[in-house]
Amino acid sequence: MDVEARMPWLTTAPYLVEARELDATLRGLGQLGFWVVRAEAPEGGDVKDGLLVELSVRLGFSSLGAGSWAAFGDRLWDLLTARDETPVAVVIEGADLLLRRSLHTLVRCVHKLVSMTEGVGLSDAHAQRQVEYFFVGEWGGDAGAPALDG
């Protein structure tokens, strides 16, 4: 499903969503039939571990090994190969907090989430479920989100 065609205020992936565009983005994802999973970026502690635990909880993954990329990758594989073909939108609110703590950590987390998801899709023909990530924050963009057609 081409989210950029329906939501022209989005940048190309990875999707950095301005906080003021969150409501329009959530509305658009709902209209497109996505299962919207909302998560909060961690404000303290180990950023990577906190983010992976939060995503594991919100996605309903097993807590066994939560906080490690390897465990998250295994659960991601299950999500992408599930018989349920409903597309998934993972909306991470407060992602700009990661930038304020460490540019490297933000880039690494965004890269790992997107590349792991794409990697599963490329390595397993059964991994057909669409999973998209939306990183919400005060990114400093100028464009406002236009109203969606009903």
Strands 35-40 and 88-93: parallel
pLDDT at 63: 86
H or E element that contains 91: strand 88-93
53 has pLDDT over 60: yes
Q: Distance (Å, rounded) from C-alpha 123 to C-alpha 107?
A: 24
Q: 103: which 2 tokens?
A: 């540019």
67: left (phi over 0), alpha (psi -120 to 50) or beta: left
- Fold annotation for 3-134: Barnase; Chain D (3.30.370)
- pLDDT band (50, 70, 90) for residue 91: very high
Predicted TM-score (pTM) of this structure: 0.88
Burial of 45 (0-12, 13-18, 19+ CB in 10 A): exposed
